[in-house]
Chain A
Amino acid sequence: MTKTTSEIVARCEEIYEDLNFTTAREWKAAKEGRKVIGYLPVYIPRELIHAGGMLPLGIMGGGDNLEVIHGDAYYQSYICRIPRSTVELGVSGRMDFVDGMLFPSICDVIRNLSGMWKMLFPDTYSKYFDVPQTYKDEIGGTFYIGEMRELLHDLERIAGRKISDEDIRNSIAVYNENRRLVNELYELRAKVPWQAPASEAYLVIRAGLVLPVEEHSALLREYIDAAKAEERPIKDNSKVVVTGMFCEQPPLNLIKSLELSGCYVVDDDFMLVSRWLIGDVPTDGDPVYNLSQAFLHHSMSTAAKYEPDQEEKGQFLVRSVKETGAEGVIFASTSFCDPALLDRPMLQNVLKAADIPFIAFKYAENSGQMQPIREQAGTFVDSIKLWSAA
């Protein structure tokens, strides 16, 4: 029987709120010898984990339902919350079924977390996964291939078996399909945002951080078809692009508040792991080389990614606004988020030059007071609706 969007979203919300990761635990318990590898934002080549028959598990912090007690002892109170709530998830035993943890290079805080994890959980594999900052084949490419080979070697040890090139090629094909569906959902939302609201799309994509990829692809297909089939009222909202939320995730209420304030969120940088690589990764030839090429030359741009070409800096936002028909940009970042906050003035200058309106605010994964954000986003939308030339 065909499910409605609300039924699908209700299931995704259940997964989102479950801080014991029951779905992943059940997957692991269903068959002897199964392994789960956790990872933090922003990007990990999940294909390599999948190729070893293991489950990649996205850990996006504890959100607004987790009380951080122990985690606060490990980090300064003024920085972002995701490292503290991740420590809390770990020390409270909520991640005791996870066999390995990957900490991609996003900032110093997450790098420090990888070291802390090693000390806190010496029996769990943990790796600081360094992705290249230089996008030249002979430098970043060579380095990244080496980094992936090293990870593969470690994953083979955890999986207890060899991971062949054919295994990786098959996994690339499975993730290509998943990325196509995620992109299809983003395109649908940009075109008819009232049919696939950002808060729903977020939950549906977020479920993919916990579910096996094949199951998630089926869920995406189901949601897209249901969203297209349902008639929902159109509101006189303004289309906006949200940027800066690539690491610590906003509480669901924040996304809902933006929508209630009159925003149709038509592009964002939430959970970029789901769509970091642009287009299909080739499924022939050397799969590790193909993944490195995709990372270097066909990957998303954000404030978290180094852009050596000053002319190109921030143009990804201008393109996003043009392609989605957005009328403004909302910068949102967490406290002391180096990647987002250091780039923000440069990105804002690019938007000013392109005559694109923007606003900025701060949030945390446990932000509870939405009134100031609603006021700010709402007045921004009013100014676009009433005073823009269009």
Chain B
Amino acid sequence: MTLTAGIDVGTGAVKVAVFRIENGKEEWLSRCTLRIRQRDPMQLSREAFDQALEDAGVKESDLDYVATTGEGEAIPFHTGHFYSMTSHARGARFLDPKTVAILDCGALHGRAMITDARGKVTNYKMTSQCASGSGQFLENIARYLGIAQDEIGDLSMQADDPEEVSSICAVLAETDVINMVSRGITSPNILKGIHLSMASRLARLLKSIGVKSDLIMMTGGLALDEGLCEAMREQLAKMKGVDAKVINNPDSIYAGAIGAALWGAFRFDKLAASGTLLKAS
């Protein structure tokens, strides 16, 4: 039996997942998410980690491997770190084994990955540094419009005449939104326009890494935004040579933490087999 924990330190939240793996069976014991909200991510990681361990009924000393991902490299008690591409791809395949491509949409980045039959990431691309394709941008717009975050998806789906928004620059996009508000454009149409703009960038990323007729799993903080998922489907449908299906999962936000925990278990077994076992530190 192998006990592992995965800690995904994102820009907006810290996610922790604890797993027990026995005879190839992967059992998800507990999970914890804490929003960062300008607090110290390292301290929050510790709190989320402790909470997840308590929920799983596991002591820290019982863990065989503590894996970090995202911005978690500096967490002092980790055994090993995995990069977001690697961990999100593994997490997405845990949530749906048929997944081939992964679209990780977080607060700061959008990242598209494609995997081979073994789950190895064979290609990936990220959005550039501009925030106009990110969750942080969407959050800001929701705040300007006086809308709660969990209302965004439903409102976007109610749009009847979406307005086009700049997909190049967050500053230009925000200016567009201010103009729309003053012109009396409804919130659903503004939000749908933003979703379509974001989806257009993300769809181009997916195409550029070679996605054709594959199953795409949305992960990260925006994965549960149904408005964005729907916009992704619409934008991909417009692309020539692409016939992909976009899905999400209620636990999509945990994909990074799940992937880290599962790769941690894999790594623990590999080290044990080679006689170079590390102790979770």
A-B interaction = yes
Specify which of B81, B266, B270, B279 is in contact with A262 (CB 8 Å cutoff).
B81
Specify which of B121, B267, B279 is in contact with A385 (CB 8 Å cutoff).
B267
- Bound CA span A383–B86, Å: 9
Asked whether A235 lies within 8 Å of B79 as measured between CB atoms, the reply is yes
Q: Which of A206-214, A242-250, A374-382 contacts B (4 or more CB under 8 A)?
A: A374-382
Q: Could you give, for residues 80-101 of chain B, a 1 whenever the CB lies within 8 Å of some chain A CB and a 0 otherwise?
A: 1111011000000000000000
Nearest Cβ in chain B — how far from A266, in angstroms? 15
Residue A237 at the B interface, CB < 8 A? yes
Asked whether B73 lies within 8 Å of A261 as measured between CB atoms, the reply is yes
Asked whether A233 lies within 8 Å of B281 as measured between CB atoms, the reply is yes
Residue A387 at the B interface, CB < 8 A? yes
Residue A390 at the B interface, CB < 8 A? yes
- Bound CA span A181–B231, Å: 62
Nearest Cβ in chain B — how far from A362, in angstroms? 18
Asked whether A379 lies within 8 Å of B263 as measured between CB atoms, the reply is no
Name which of A234, A375, A381, A382 has the most chain B CB atoms within 10 A of its CB.
A382
By the criterion of a CB under 8 Å from any partner CB, how many residues of chain A are at the interface? 19
Asked whether B73 lies within 8 Å of A236 as measured between CB atoms, the reply is no
- Bound CA span A264–B126, Å: 26
Name which of B73, B74, B76 has the most chain A CB atoms within 10 A of its CB.
B73
- Bound CA span A261–B274, Å: 23
Asked whether B278 lies within 8 Å of A234 as measured between CB atoms, the reply is yes
Asked whether A378 lies within 8 Å of B81 as measured between CB atoms, the reply is yes
Residue A353 at the B interface, CB < 8 A? no
Asked whether B86 lies within 8 Å of A236 as measured between CB atoms, the reply is no
Asked whether A236 lies within 8 Å of B274 as measured between CB atoms, the reply is no
Residue A260 at the B interface, CB < 8 A? yes
Q: Chain B residues near A235 (CB, 8 Å)?
A: 78-81, 278, 281
Contact of A262 with B274 at beta-carbon distance under 8 Å, contacts A235-B281, A385-B267 already known:
no
Closest to B80 in A: A236
Q: Could you give, for residues 53-84 of chain A, a 1 whenever the CB lies within 8 Å of some chain B CB and a 0 otherwise?
A: 00000000000000000000000000000000
Residue B237 at the A interface, CB < 8 A? no
Asked whether A386 lies within 8 Å of B271 as measured between CB atoms, the reply is no
Interface set, chain A 328-380, CB cutoff 8 A to B = 374-375, 378-379
Asked whether B79 lies within 8 Å of A262 as measured between CB atoms, the reply is no
Specify which of B85, B120, B126, B271 is in contact with A236 (CB 8 Å cutoff).
B271
Asked whether A390 lies within 8 Å of B274 as measured between CB atoms, the reply is yes
Closest to A257 in B: B73
Specify which of B83, B126, B279, B281 is in contact with A378 (CB 8 Å cutoff).
B83
Closest to A236 in B: B80
- Bound CA span A379–B274, Å: 22
Closest to A259 in B: B73
Asked whether A385 lies within 8 Å of B80 as measured between CB atoms, the reply is yes
Asked whether A386 lies within 8 Å of B81 as measured between CB atoms, the reply is no
Nearest Cβ in chain B — how far from A328, in angstroms? 15
Asked whether B263 lies within 8 Å of A386 as measured between CB atoms, the reply is yes
Asked whether A236 lies within 8 Å of B79 as measured between CB atoms, the reply is yes
Interface set, chain B 226-281, CB cutoff 8 A to A = 263, 266-267, 270-271, 274, 278-279, 281
Known: A236-B267, A262-B80. 10 other contacts (CB 8 A): A235-B278, A236-B65, A236-B79, A261-B83, A262-B81, A375-B126, A378-B81, A379-B86, A385-B270, A386-B267
Question: 6 tightest A-B contacts by CB?
Answer: A236-B80, A233-B281, A378-B83, A260-B73, A382-B86, A379-B83
A residues with CB within 8 A of B: 233-237, 260-262, 374-375, 378-379, 381-383, 385-387, 390
B residues with CB within 8 A of A: 65, 73-74, 76, 78-83, 85-86, 120-121, 126, 263, 266-267, 270-271, 274, 278-279, 281
10 residue pairs bridging A and B, Cβ less than 8 Å apart: A233-B76, A233-B281, A234-B278, A234-B281, A374-B73, A378-B73, A379-B121, A382-B82, A385-B80, A387-B120
